[in-house]
Amino acid sequence: MHKTGWGDKVFSTVNYIGFGIFTLLCAFPFYYLFIQTISDNSLSASGAITWLPKGIHFNNYVEVLKVKGLSTAALVSVGRTVIGTILTVFGSAFLGYLFTKRKMAGRVFWYRFVVITMYFNASIIPWFIIMMNLGMVNNYLAYILPAIVSPFYVILVKTFVESLPEALEESAEIDGAIGFDDNKHFSRTFRERVGMYPTEYRTIHQVIEVNAE
């Protein structure tokens, strides 16, 4: 069904090569750094290593692993990343999603309330004093709590959810994915689907039932 013409091939080739070049530009410096670290130290210091490592050894890495406190620090970092990421994704996605709900009281105000904090910078000393008053100095929570709501991610989630077709959520509700806490909404959806309000439907149904007896 899909014909690949001459122009298409040129497009693809240029595309592949273009990305190849940029990828090399991004990756080569890292390769270059890496071959310096595993090459003979005096050779790399004199700038003799250009394309390939010479006198390969791993002593530099062994030395790094001997640094005291490295494992604890690594553990703290990994923990912070894992816990922090989970909570940030949860918190920011939840709040971002709530902001797509047009019914929320003061929605625009609260959204702006969150967003503008991105541009506030109160410098480090008041920050430290706040943390101290909250008892979070030398406390793991200092990493976690302030990061739960990230205004930037809230904006992203909101934009993304708003770009989804609204009908998707409505049809999911009809399928019982969310349920009807809100009776007004139920009535409306019911009317859209059945053509009459639930009360009308019930009345008519009762009439039919009575007539049938």
Partner 1 sequence: MNPALQGETKPQNVKTGISQKYRLLLYASPFLLLILVFGYFPLYGWTYAFYNYKPGIPLSSEQFVGFKWFLSIINNPYQFEEIKRVMTNTFAMSLLGIATSILPVIFAIFLVEIKTNWYKKLVQTLTTLPNFISWVLVYAIAFMLFSYDNGLINKIMIGLGFQDGNINYLASGEYIWLKMTLWNVWKGLGWGAILYIAAIMGIDQELYDAAKVDGAGRVRLMWHITLPGVMPTFFVLLLLSIANFINNGMEQYFVFQNALNKDSIEVLDLYVYNTSMVGNNFSFATAVSMLKSVVSVVLLFVANQCSKWVRGETII
Residue 61 as a binder of partner 1 (CB under 8 A): the answer is no
Nearest partner of 42 among 29, 58, 54, judged by Cα? 54
Name the CA radius of gyration of the chain, rounded: 30
Please, which of residues 16-55 interact with partner 1 by CB under 8 A? 16, 18-20, 22-23, 25-27, 29-30, 32-33, 36, 46-47, 50
Nearer to partner 1, 26 or 177 (CB): 26
Of 154, 146, 153, nearest to 127 by C-alpha is 146
Q: Residue 84 contacts by C-beta under 8 Å, 6 or more apart in sequence?
A: 143, 144, 147
Candidate residues 64, 78, 104, 204; the one interacting with partner 1 per rule CB under 8 A = 104
Which of 2, 62, 68, 69 binds partner 1 (CB under 8 A)? It is 2
90 contacts 147 by C-beta, under 8 angstroms: no
- Is 95 an interacting residue with respect to partner 1 (CB under 8 A)? yes
Which pair of structure tokens corresponds to residue 30?
Answer: 């890292």
Separation CA 209–CA 123 (nearest Å): 73
Among 43, 83, 115, 174, indicate the residue that binds partner 1 (CB under 8 A): 115
Q: In this chain, which stretch among 53-61, 63-71, 76-84, 94-102 interacts with partner 1, using CB under 8 A?
A: 94-102
Closest approach, Cβ 91 to partner 1, in A, equals: 6
Contact 95, 158 (CB under 8 A): no
Is 79 an interacting residue with respect to partner 1 (CB under 8 A)? no
Contact map string, positions 146 to 175, toward partner 1, x by CB under 8 A? x-xx-xx--xx--xx-xxx-----------
